[in-house]
Amino acid sequence: MKIQTFQLIEGAKEAIGLTVIIDVFRAFSLECYLFARGAEKIYPVGKTETAFALQKKDRELLLIGERNEKIIPGFDYGNSPAQILNLDFTGKKLVHTTSAGTQGIVNAINATELITGSFVNAHAIARYIKMKNPAFVSLVCMGYSADNETEEDTLCAAYIEDLLQNREPNFERMKSVIRKTSGKRFFLNKKQKHAPKEDFDLCLQPGKFNFILRAEKEEDDVFSIEKIDC
């Protein structure tokens, strides 16, 4: 098994084999929490226009996501796990678009299989990859707005690779680094409305969920997410 780590949009385009699109803060942590709260299906898309068009066809769809960390005008929810944690999404279908994570999904054009990545289901991801035993694994770190590399995504890729190589990750060290760097924004007063401090800890709970999220292309710019227990 050859494991490679890539960064941002260009990295997503280069990824081959079983590809893990990583967005810890917060897209793919959020999707895990949504499925844990009963969501039936999530459709990650790249463009806000696509999200609105899908909702126009099906008024039952909920729209969730962000641009520049803030809820998109006209959407039902933003991208914060803390703000949906106590809501019931049983049987609900959602369209999800973000500045980073969902952009990675729609740009991973050479992947043979596509799953999402975050700390909260990292152990399930490693078990799934070991079970599939692919020749190539691509770990794609989407960073901040898919423009800048970030510690949380790069360290999540390292965490998953450690698990795949049967090494013990030093998560406490990783968390300390993230708190001092890319994660410190969650503790700024001006961010609390759309990126509350609770999101930091909710996104940094390794192995909280025993399932992976696999993305399948439905049409241009539209994918669907399937939850697979692992």
Q: Where are the domains of the chain?
A: 2-229
**If you ran DSSP here, which 8-state letter would residue 135 be given?**
S
Which DSSP string corresponds to 49-86?
A: HHHHHHHHH-TT-EEEEEETTEEPTT-SB-S-STTTTT
What tokens does 51 get? 């999200």
Q: Residue 116 in contact with residue 21, Cβ under 8 Å?
A: yes
Instruction: State how far the Cα of 67 lies from the Cα of 99, in Å rounded to an integer.
Output: 6
Nearest to 101 by CA among 70, 77, 66, 136: 66
Provide the 3-class DSSP secondary structure of residue 164.
helix
Residues in contact with 55: Cβ distance below 8 Å, sequence separation at least 6, in sequence order: 61, 63, 95
Runs of H (alpha helix) within 108-164:
122-132, 151-164
Residue 190: HSE in the Cβ half-sphere, 13 Å Cα cutoff: 2
Return the axis-axis angle of helices 171-180 and 151-164, rounded to nearest 10°.
Answer: 170
What tokens does 190 get? 């001006």
| Annotation: CATH topology of 2-229 | putative 2-phosphosulfolactate phosphatase (3.90.1560)
Per-residue pLDDT 10s for the chain (230 aa) are 999 999 999 999 999 999 999 999 999 999 999 999 999 999 999 999 999 999 999 999 999 999 999 999 999 999 999 999 999 999 999 999 999 999 999 999 999 999 999 999 999 999 999 999 999 999 999 999 999 999 999 999 999 999 999 999 999 999 999 999 999 999 999 999 999 999 999 999 999 999 999 999 998 889 999 999 99
Residues in contact with 110: Cβ distance below 8 Å, sequence separation at least 6, in sequence order: 13, 14, 15, 16
